Amino acid sequence: MGKWTRRAFLTTGTLVGGGLIVGVAIRPGHRTPKLAGLVEKDGETLVNARVKILPDNSIRVIVPHAEMGQGVHTVLPMMLADEMDADWKTVSMEQAPADDQYASKDIVREFAMPSQAPGMVEDTLNGVFLKIAQKMSLQITGGSFSVRGTGTWSMRVAGAAARELLIDAAAEEWQVPLNEIRAENSYLFHDKSNKSEPFIAFAKAAAGKQGPTQPKLKTPDQFKIMGKHVERFDIPAKVDGSAVFGVDIELPGMKYACVKSAPVFGNTVSSIDSVAAEKMAGFIKLVNLSSGIGVIADTYWQAKKALDKVKVTYTEGDSKRASSESMFEQFGKSMDAAIADGNEEDDFKIGNARKVLANSKRVIEAEYRVPHLAHATMEPMNCTAWAHDGQLEIWAGLQNPLGIRNLLAEEFEFERDHIVINNVYLGGGFGRRAMDDYPVQGAKLALALPGVPVKMIWSREEDTQQDFYRPAVMSRLKASLGDNGMPDAWENQFVDKHEPVEAPTIPYAVENQYIHYTNSPTHIRFGPWRSVDHTQHAFFTESFIDELAAEAGINPYQYRYDLLSHDLRARKVLETAATMSNWGKPLPDGWGQGIALHRSLNTIVAEVVDLDMSSGKPRVAKVYCAADPGYAMSSDGFKAQMESGIIYGLTAALYGEINIKDGAVVESNFHNYKMLRMNDAPTIEVEIINSGDRSLGGGGEPGTPPIAPALTNAIFAITGKRVRQLPVSKHL
């Protein structure tokens, strides 16, 4: 499936032929006729890649992203419908097929080059980025890219282009000037002649032409749907229980499977004794999955009980000696060796931090650590697969259905169009369902029982111990303070850099900075975890800036504020959070406040925690969150995502820790991988700042990074104890 980094994009870009140089040869041209065969049904008219008009004049928006609670199945249609001047009451959505034609070109665009080009060049870029996305098998939901990528570069453009095509068709039929026709609520009007017709009347004519690549878009003062609250499409079905998640799939004649993989990553099956299991009621078949085993039975419980009876031995390697403690020892040695050998990997450099630090009389140093974390999605991993009639059909919640389709085709030697992906609601993703292990396992099990649908469900123990984890990371920070107490040099060395590249950078005006890293790989599987590298680096940098404020004897809010004079947008966010929380207000004994600011995925978020430590244990009473995404396309949805990100991050900060012993994960279920419970959840207040910044920010992830440092900074404010290693439960 490929690792979607900027480096990967650039590398892949060189593989798409002469398009990057010749340009005109790679323009996508009029794609609607080709796409119609994929998504059109009887009576429907595909006007362009994203929008269909139905015979009753209703609008159906084709969304290429998965719905996992973030509301993307609603907000993207909102963006298109507003630009199209469609009647929102008649708008619905359908998920795009897992096909190369619906690869994530807009995410590639936002990731690699988030700026508009002149018209002819823009068309070429659309072709270039589509080819890159197809080459990478990319149809991803993640990285908070849906609204700022697909919404910006595709949905709004598609809606406005469709409107212009329809107006053009009406002007031609009515023989009137274009500028005399207006669109409103899915109708076209020519007021001078008192003519009006529904969109559907001109749909066929519009579909026959290629729409403009740069139609005129609305300004925020013209928005009728964007920025407003509308009821989400997915909520009614989730409330009444009719929503279909992967674990809900039922097919005639379906059997069930349970799996168990090697406890130490990288080990493979050496021997299997299944004699006792084969005698169990309902047992059908045992399948060697190489990295583990699977048992197929009549019911899930029968499969699980039979699996428990199987005796398996695995190959062993050096990883069996690994532990959480040994990994951090390894990190420290790798960092020491990198500096001693001059092998630091530069990440960001300005001025001469090393020289200033060497000559300073006031240097502060600290080492911070975060542990591995599991995703702990509400719905454990599952996949239903059915090998029949020369094809392999899959039902699952997937964050990259196109990538899974193409991988399965290669893995099992199917033609790509013989792999059918049915993507359903995801019961939580957070990056976990972008990985391919569980669909591959599901396919292997189904292929071992051809002609019979097989539903594979992971146990919670398997889900916890076979994750792709947020990595354990160590960061060593140094800063020197000038006579005024403000930092004049900043150095940060950390292990293992992933994405996004800007995660370790700080928003503050420090004249001399040196941020560098050292690679120190382990055998633990790594995967994207909500907000990716931002989650650990916000904890490191926002905790350390708080340490500097304490050392300087300056209020931590004021300290940050003074260091943001160059960034008025960030300063406004910080100031708003402080105002919301009445920063510095009188509090009861044992109470305190902590503050943190972080920019991630183009959204700036500041959070203040009101913390009650009067019992000796931390209880977060309230969280105040100010966020600037440029413009929140769905106000209520954006607030919900901030709240969700805060709860997710607070759980990790308080309790989250995956420990490694003898090379394997220790934690197995919610009894020892604890979640924040409803009775301990804080009140959360969110204020959106629509600054009008040209480039939109994400919503699903940016609420998570600031909460851990805001919490630990509050702990310091009350107790004077600085928490430099998460989770907090290890210390209090």
Q: What is the full DSSP assignment across 324-358?
A: HHHHHHHHHHHHHHHHHHT--EEEEEES-HHHHHH
Dihedral pair phi/psi, residue 588, rounded to 5°: -65, 165
**pLDDT score for 20:** 34
pLDDT at residue 543 in the model? 98
pLDDT at 119: 66
Q: Which pTM does this prediction carry?
A: 0.95
Domains, the chain: 31-104+139-239 (3.30.365.10), 246-316+381-457 (3.30.365.10), 344-363+469-730 (3.30.365.10)
- Model confidence pLDDT, tens digit, residues 10-48: 444 444 433 333 334 567 888 999 999 999 999 999 999
Per-residue pLDDT tens digits for 515-552: 999 999 999 999 999 999 999 999 999 999 999 999 99
Tokens for 458, please give them: 């992971």
Please tell me the distance from the alpha carbon of residue 578 to that of residue 595, in angstroms, as a whole number.
8
Strand partners, 260: 293
Torsion angle (degrees, nearest 10) of CA 168, 172, 174, 178: 40
pLDDT at residue 24 in the model:
43
Confidence of residue 5 (pLDDT cuts 50, 70, 90): low
Over residues 319-368, the pLDDT tens digits come to 999 999 999 999 999 999 999 999 999 999 999 999 999 999 999 999 99
pLDDT digits (tens, 9 = 90+) for 547-602: 999 999 999 999 999 999 999 999 999 999 999 999 999 999 999 999 999 999 99
Q: In the predicted model, is pLDDT for residue 722 greater than 50?
A: yes
**CB-based burial label for 483 (10 Å; 0-12, 13-18, 19+):** exposed
Compute the distance between CA of residue 136 and CA of residue 103 in angstroms, rounded to an integer.
9
Q: What is the mean pLDDT of residues 257-268?
A: 98
pLDDT-based confidence at residue 425 (cuts at 50, 70, 90): very high
End-to-end alpha carbon distance in the chain: 42
Q: 716: which 2 tokens?
A: 């310091």
The CA distance from 443 to 425, in Å, is 19
Q: What per-residue confidence (pLDDT) applies to 121?
A: 78
Distances from the Cα of 407 to the Cα of 132, 137, 463, 682, angstroms: 16, 8, 22, 42
Instruction: Round to whole Å and give the CA distance between 42 and 655.
Output: 53
Q: What is the pLDDT of residue 52?
A: 98
Which own/partner contact pairs does 481-487 have at CB distance under 8 Å and 24+ positions apart? 481/360, 481/362, 481/364, 481/548, 481/551, 481/552, 482/362, 484/552, 485/548, 485/551, 485/552, 485/553, 485/554, 486/552, 486/559, 486/562, 486/563, 487/548, 487/563
Instruction: List the alpha helices (DSSP H) in 93-202.
Output: 105-112, 119-135, 156-174
At 624, is the secondary structure helix, strand, or coil? strand
Burial class of residue 68, CB neighbours in 10 A (0-12, 13-18, 19+)? buried
Residue 115 has pLDDT above 80, yes or no: no
**Residue 19 has what pLDDT?**
34
Beta bridge partners, 364, equal 479
pLDDT at 178: 95
Residue 558: its pLDDT value, please? 98
The predicted structure's pLDDT at residue 15: 41
Element (H, E) at 383: strand 382-388
